[in-house]
């Protein structure tokens, strides 16, 4: 994709975030914030057969954080819980598809952080090679 298409792709996810809202009786939840800006993100997850059956994010944040969570949500549905702990920063950054500066990195990783926290209890920031 060209830069323009990437920009449109991210803006589309920001304006029409997928899987945002709430679930009835979620099995797992977590809540995180980006300490650099105070933006917050919560995830609610339904589990079935050791997989993420459904999930919803809610919260507020910049275009990068909201788009990143929206894009990730489409990949996370159906994923085995065992896989979630193995997802690293590269996974989330590759999905986003655009380079992010060091200061925006936490924006791009907030969605993965909150999902990992809900599933594994590990609330550290995802790390990766990039």
Q: Which residues bind ligand FES (CB under 6 A)?
A: 34, 37, 39, 61-62, 64-65, 107, 110
Residue 34 to residues 66, 77, 118, Cα–Cα distance (Å): 12, 24, 16
Q: Closer CB to ligand FES, residue 15 or residue 48?
A: 15
Report the chain's terminal Cα–Cα distance, integer Å: 20
d(CA 107, CA 100): 9
On whether the CB atoms of residues 124 and 87 are closer than 8 A, the answer is no
CB atoms within 10 A of CB 21: 9
CB of 110 to ligand FES, least distance (A): 6
Nearer to ligand FES, 55 or 64 (CB): 64
Nearer to ligand FES, 31 or 51 (CB): 31
Q: How far is the CB of 51 from ligand FES (least distance, A)?
A: 28
User: Tokens at residue 40, please?
Assistant: 């917050």
Q: How far is the CB of 107 from ligand FES (least distance, A)?
A: 3
Measured CA to CA, the distance from residue 44 to residue 30 in angstroms comes to 7
Min CB(103)–ligand FES separation in Å = 9
Task: Specify the residue, 25 or 102, whose C-beta has the smaller distance to ligand FES.
Answer: 102
């Amino acid at each position: 994709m060209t830069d323009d298409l990437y920009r449109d792709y991210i803006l589309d996810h920001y304006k029409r975030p997928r899987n945002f809202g709430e679930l009835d009786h979620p099995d797992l939840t977590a809540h995180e914030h980006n300490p650099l800006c105070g933006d917050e993100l919560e995830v609610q997850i339904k589990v079935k057969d050791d997989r993420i059956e459904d999930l919803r994010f809610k919260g507020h944040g910049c275009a990068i954080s909201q788009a990143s969570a929206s894009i990730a949500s489409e990949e996370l549905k159906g994923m085995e819980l065992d896989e979630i702990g193995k997802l690293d920063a590269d996974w989330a950054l590759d999905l986003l598809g655009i380079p992010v500066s060091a200061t925006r990195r936490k924006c791009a990783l907030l969605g993965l952080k909150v999902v990992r926290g809900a599933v594994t209890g590990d609330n550290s920031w995802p790390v990766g090679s990039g």
